[in-house]
Structure 1
């Protein structure tokens, strides 16, 4: 159940969409909204005070424009963004953190990752990245299934977030040395891999704690990017739910390469859930 939603805003138009989506979700679930922004605490105190007033006025105007409930709260904090947002998430007991699409900074992102990447690593609650204009509740949700606890958590959260939406799932099967084993991409050459993957999926589906109503995906012997692209086009999803986890022990992000790619360049609104 979603009772408290934290929106982390950088006061840009990208964040305005995050506020609008949070308002829509709050109305749908009867939740309370807290909108916050973070100011650099290294700035002089007089500058911080001026920025605080401007930020409060800006966020109040955005909330009014989005027709937010009168009990929506605004808070301006000074500090390092990720740590400060994580602390506020714990303080208010947020069930969901909502962000706008980040401003690309190629050099910095290469070494430090995007703010959302770092937030997903730091937070224990689901994070929603809002890319698209808000016109209605989510109508179609796409969920990736990779037989992990995190994909189940993502599916469960998405279905709770958008209870009226159509749910579609997909499952991609990696074929090692595909160019040598199945040069002609024939079903005959791919069949053994699909059969093995189907057995694993069937066995996992029997024992996993599946959220009620989550549809079983069909097996697709292709790269996860290709399968995702096809599934997104076929489903017309306006929300992609993704479980965040890393398969490599030395992964610096602990998110997984596909998840990182989606965070940096989302194709629609993105819900990232840690398992």
Structure 2
């Protein structure tokens, strides 16, 4: 999706790089910003499509039938594996009560959504994957590791035991018991990281796992900034506008704090539109088990 501005076309460049990596068809849709419909949109979109196809050597299809509304994007998204759009922030009543455009789009589509902030000068070099230890986490790691065969991937988990520790202190539980509880949480997190090793394929040479303590969204965004990861991958449970408005969501809070690109993957994301044969190998699993596991001091 692009509004045909220089900033909006960065999403097209990023999508083109991913299309090259996966030998995929790139579909470009014109999505005008509020009250900024271009009269030359059709010709500009055709020119952009030709330039992208020539520069990257990918098959490009321009989507001109739709008006760029979220409903149009969702309808087109039924036939794609990934939606790429620019990070945009609206200050409207609709955005306040129903969420920003990307949040509303996530309720309509069944595929991952990539929100871009950074210029797409090269392929992703570092990818950070924020995980919990639900069954959906394995699919999240598998997807992240398949995005770019040469990227360094870091699996990140934030321990959220602070609330429980506060309740224990309120109940006058000794510090020794609280420390033991914290260490038990760390051990469970380490076991969870090992459980995720089956998601890595044989191409992955640079693996890293990190555990820290604190709010998952805040810690994930901070870790992305500290490690200079261009992409942060997070999952999102299916929710309503009311639930997101009252309780917020991990994806929403990450988008608010992140300084790089963010890939949001619905927990119930549908299967790819084409079969991808990337079986994990015993060597890859062994590499992951031997990969460094970094545990922040504050987690202990």
Deviations 1:127-151 (A, max 9, x none): 1111100111100001112112333
Match of 2:4 among 7, 11, 30: 11
Secondary structure of 1:122's partner? coil
**Alpha-carbon deviation of 1:39?**
7.2
Please tell me whether residue 240 in structure 1 is matched to residue 232 in structure 2: yes
CA contact (8 A) 1:97 1:127 kept: yes
Q: Look up the match of 1:170.
A: 156
Secondary structure of 1:128's partner? strand
Secondary structure of 2:64's partner? strand
Query: Aligned pair in 2 of structure 1 residues 107, 62: CA closer, same or farther (>3 Å)?
Result: same
Instruction: Give the alignment of 1:129-148 within 5 angstroms.
Output: 129-148=115-134
CA contact (8 A) 2:158 2:215 kept: yes
Please tell me whether residue 22 in structure 1 is matched to residue 15 in structure 2: yes
Give unmatched runs, 5+ long, in structure 1. 1-7, 41-47
**Alpha-carbon deviation of 1:103?**
3.9
Match of 1:71 among 59, 81, 90: 59
Q: What TM-score, normalized to structure 2? A: 0.71
Q: Look up the match of 2:188.
A: 200
Equivalenced residue count is 254
**Alpha-carbon deviation of 1:266?**
3.5
Instruction: Give the alignment of 1:49-198 within 5 angstroms.
Output: 51=39, 54-66=40-52, 67-69=55-57, 71-78=59-66, 81-90=69-78, 93-174=79-160, 175-176=162-163, 191-198=179-186
CA contact (8 A) 1:39 1:76 kept: no
**Alpha-carbon deviation of 1:209?**
7.5
- The CA RMSD measured in Å over matched residues stands at 3.5
Give unmatched runs, 5+ long, in structure 2. 268-300
Q: Look up the match of 1:31.
A: 24
Query: Aligned pair in 2 of structure 1 residues 114, 77: CA closer, same or farther (>3 Å)?
Result: farther
Deviations 1:203-232 (A, max 9, x none): 545655841168573432222244224422
Query: Aligned pair in 2 of structure 1 residues 246, 28: CA closer, same or farther (>3 Å)?
Result: closer
Q: What TM-score, normalized to structure 1? A: 0.77
